[in-house]
Amino acid sequence: MKKLINSPDTVVTDALAGLAAAHPALSVDTDNKIITRASGPRQGKVGLVSGGGSGHEPLHGGFVGYGMLDAACPGEVFTSPVPDQMLAATKAVDGGAGVLHIVKNYTGDVLNFQMAAELAEDEGIDVVPVVINDDVAVQDSLYTAGRRGTGATVFVEKIAGALAEEGADLTAVAAVAREVNERSRSFGVALSPCAIPAAGKPTFELGESEVELGIGIHGEPGRTRSALLPAGELAAIALDAIRADMAVDGDLLVMVNGMGGTPLIELYVVFNEVRKQLAASGGHVARNLVGNYITSLEMQGFSVTICQLTDTLARLWDAPVDTPALRWGR
């Protein structure tokens, strides 16, 4: 296991210091691990807070900025942030219109965000949580009751962020976040494991020509293992798993996401297979993201996330965004 770090103990704070230095539009409290917009909360705007373990960069800190999140609270690598941290982030972004918590469905995250929401309510801040659970690979898993939250988180943060920026109220912003989650499904494939810095060894082992189908973003086991297959067949497995759970026709928002160690040339190969196979069954890729957006440290592999668009969701997707990792139209 080789990593570009100073020490397993400081990897998260060192990376946060780098994030702060690279992006002056962010305000980063490295001690308390809270990333907010340097411009502060906007009075009357619903605040959006997300968070979760580190190791999935650019998620979530790279999505803080105009048109997306107001704050992110990263935990240690693959470890939930704590309620106090979430509470501080919630208070920091409250502009009087309440705060949406975007929570990936992992037991620790859900419990801690719930406690933070209760504490915030005690201080007079309206909080609505939305739990993301788009991963069709497994019901229940190592860290989850029910389905895991993965790629749809990026879509929810972008689309709910755009609606909040327009001035919608907390009920409406929470409703669109839930709608995006309900209309989205994901499936991931790993070619290699990853290693948590503090553990110093891979989270699992894969044979020389083996892949894990239905992998989670922490290296949780998937559905099954298979021999390495051509990209087209791996894309078909991912799409079949998604199709078994949701119709994928009409206008779609599609993300082909790298797991952190996947070169871009391969992600474009996978994206080409995905859009061809979707087209063959009546699905039109109306919007797309191809790149590393929700990763698992240095894991090699990909995930596909598909959202059934509506005109409103497409409009909110297209709205201006200005964050380290997503930036357009402004």
Amino acid at 321: V
Amino acid at 189: V
Considering only residues 225 to 244 of the shown chain, the ones binding its own copies according to CB under 8 A are 228, 230-232, 234
Taking the C-alpha atoms of residue 192 and residue 185, their distance in angstroms, rounded to an integer, is 23
How many other CB atoms are there within 10 angstroms of residue 245's CB atom?
Answer: 12
Q: How far is the CB of 117 from its own copies (least distance, A)?
A: 27
Q: Which of 23, 60, 101, 218 is catalytic?
A: 218
Contact between residue 289 and residue 257 where contact means Cβ atoms under 8 Å apart: yes
The label of the residue with tokens 């009920």 reads: 171
How many residues of this chain bind its own copies (CB under 8 A)? 58
Question: Is cis: bond before 202, omega within 30 of 0?
Answer: no
How many other CB atoms are there within 10 angstroms of residue 250's CB atom?
Answer: 12
Complex with its own copies: residue 18 or 167, whichever CB lies closer: 18
Q: How far is the CB of 15 from its own copies (least distance, A)?
A: 4
Complex with its own copies: residue 9 or 118, whichever CB lies closer: 9
Considering only residues 269 to 308 of the shown chain, the ones binding its own copies according to CB under 8 A are 269-273, 275, 285, 288, 290, 292, 295, 297-298, 300-302
Does 14 sit near its own copies (CB under 8 A)? Answer: yes
Taking the C-alpha atoms of residue 43 and residue 25, their distance in angstroms, rounded to an integer, is 18
Task: Give the CA distances from residue 51 to residues 69, 85, 201, 260, 277, in Å, rounded to whole numbers and listed in that order.
Answer: 10, 10, 25, 18, 34
Stretch that binds its own copies, among 41-49, 64-72, 264-272, 303-311 (CB under 8 A): 264-272
Taking the C-alpha atoms of residue 210 and residue 229, their distance in angstroms, rounded to an integer, is 9
Considering only residues 202 to 221 of the shown chain, the ones binding its own copies according to CB under 8 A are 209, 211
Identified binder of its own copies from the candidate list 214, 222, 260, 283, rule CB under 8 A = 260
Question: Is cis: bond before 101, omega within 30 of 0?
Answer: no
Taking the C-alpha atoms of residue 323 and residue 305, their distance in angstroms, rounded to an integer, is 21
Q: How far is the CB of 191 from its own copies (least distance, A)?
A: 4
23 belongs to the catalytic site:
no
| Residues found near its own copies in the complex (CB under 8 A) | 2-7, 11-12, 14-19, 21-22, 54-55, 57-58, 62, 77, 191-192, 209, 211, 228, 230-232, 234, 260-273, 275, 285, 288, 290, 292, 295, 297-298, 300-302, 327-328
The residues annotated as belonging to the active site are 56, 218
